[in-house]
């Protein structure tokens, strides 16, 4: 899915969360949306998902507004509300009825891969819940995955498992955009890093371009966002 944001602005009261942001992402690859707290990453992901509307500017996915391609987008919110009673079997029923592209077998495999006990959300730890919802998101077969802080609040071992799950799920025809602060841990998987500061993109570089500059993503993060 080809993404284009053209001078997109989104305000909340007096706060400008996203400020005339322009960004173009070609189809395919894993894109890290990086920035410090409050940089506007979550707002940008929600604008891409069509969950928020811009006050000005345009978001286009394959040339169409997000709401027209909603069925092609899987969104993992940073703090998702979900039914507490939901267990893997219930999730298969619920997501299967909500999303025709939901793959039950893949969901159950991902739960095992991410070592999520087969219990209801109410009986899972915070990190396990996050992995349960990530598995449900990745089990959809869509062309755009928007993952808000999939590595947030999880331990190092879990982080590695999540990254491995992402890598195993990777498809050439799909674009993965994930926001994270965990730059150093995640950098091995990024094809592209987009650095945000104060609602704007301050650097958009492919992993190759960063390598040519002799920089790791973490070094660029410090340099650009310090």
Ligand X SMILES: Nc1ncnc2c1ncn2[C@@H]1O[C@H](COP(=O)(O)OP(=O)(O)OP(=O)(O)O)[C@@H](O)[C@H]1O
Q: What is the DSSP letter of 158?
A: H
Distance CA(151)–CA(68), nearest Å, equals 29
Q: Does 17 bind ligand X (CB under 6 A)?
A: yes
Distance CA(127)–CA(150), nearest Å, equals 10
Question: By CB under 6 A, which span of 11-19, 87-95, 125-133, 187-195 interacts with ligand X?
Answer: 11-19
Site for ligand X in 43-102 (CB under 6 A): 43
CB-nearer residue toward ligand X: 16 or 94: 16
The single residue among 28, 29, 35, 54 that binds ligand X, judged by CB under 6 A, is 35
The residue count for binding ligand X (CB under 6 A) is 11
The single residue among 39, 74, 135, 201 that binds ligand X, judged by CB under 6 A, is 39
The closest of 37, 8, 34 to 23, measured between CA atoms, is 8
Site for ligand X in 154-193 (CB under 6 A): none
The single residue among 28, 29, 40, 54 that binds ligand X, judged by CB under 6 A, is 40
In three state form, how does the secondary structure of 109-122 look? Answer: HHHHHCCCCCCCHH
Minimum gap (Å) between residue 148 Cβ and ligand X: 7
Minimum gap (Å) between residue 162 Cβ and ligand X: 17
Minimum gap (Å) between residue 40 Cβ and ligand X: 4
DSSP 3-state assignment of 11?
strand
Minimum gap (Å) between residue 41 Cβ and ligand X: 3
CB-nearer residue toward ligand X: 38 or 57: 38
The single residue among 12, 68, 89, 122 that binds ligand X, judged by CB under 6 A, is 12
Residue-wise DSSP of 28-87: SEEEEEEESTTSSHHHHHHHHHTSS--SEEEEEETTB-GGGGGGGEEEE-TT----TT--
Distance CA(79)–CA(126), nearest Å, equals 11
Contact at 8 Å (CB) between 28 and 144?
no
Minimum gap (Å) between residue 88 Cβ and ligand X: 28
Distance CA(58)–CA(48), nearest Å, equals 10
Nearest 5°: the CA angle 111, 170, 64 is: 110
CB-nearer residue toward ligand X: 113 or 137: 137
CB-nearer residue toward ligand X: 33 or 110: 33
Residues engaged in binding ligand X (CB under 6 A): 12, 15, 17, 35, 37-43
């Amino acid at each position: 899915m080809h993404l284009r944001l053209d001078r997109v602005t989104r305000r909340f009261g007096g706060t400008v969360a996203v400020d005339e942001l322009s960004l173009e992402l070609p189809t395919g690859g894993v894109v890290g949306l990086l920035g410090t707290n409050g940089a506007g990453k979550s707002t940008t992901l929600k604008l891409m998902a069509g969950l928020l509307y811009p006050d000005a500017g345009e978001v286009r996915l394959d040339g169409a507004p997000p709401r027209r391609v909603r069925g092609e987008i899987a969104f993992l919110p940073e703090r998702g509300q979900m039914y507490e009673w939901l267990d893997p079997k219930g999730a298969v029923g619920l997501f299967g009825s909500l999303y025709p592209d939901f793959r039950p077998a893949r969901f159950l495999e991902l739960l095992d891969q991410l070592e999520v006990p087969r219990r209801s959300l109410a009986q899972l730890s915070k990190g396990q819940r996050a992995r349960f919802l990530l598995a449900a998101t990745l089990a959809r077969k869509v062309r755009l995955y928007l993952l808000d802080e999939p590595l947030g609040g999880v331990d190092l071992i879990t982080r590695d498992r999540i990254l491995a799950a992402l890598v195993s799920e990777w498809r050439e025809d799909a674009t993965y955009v994930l926001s994270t602060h965990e730059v150093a841990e995640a950098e091995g998987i990024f094809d592209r890093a987009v650095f945000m500061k104060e609602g704007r993109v301050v650097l958009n570089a492919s992993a190759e371009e960063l390598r040519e500059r002799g920089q790791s993503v973490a070094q660029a993060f410090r340099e650009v966002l310090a």
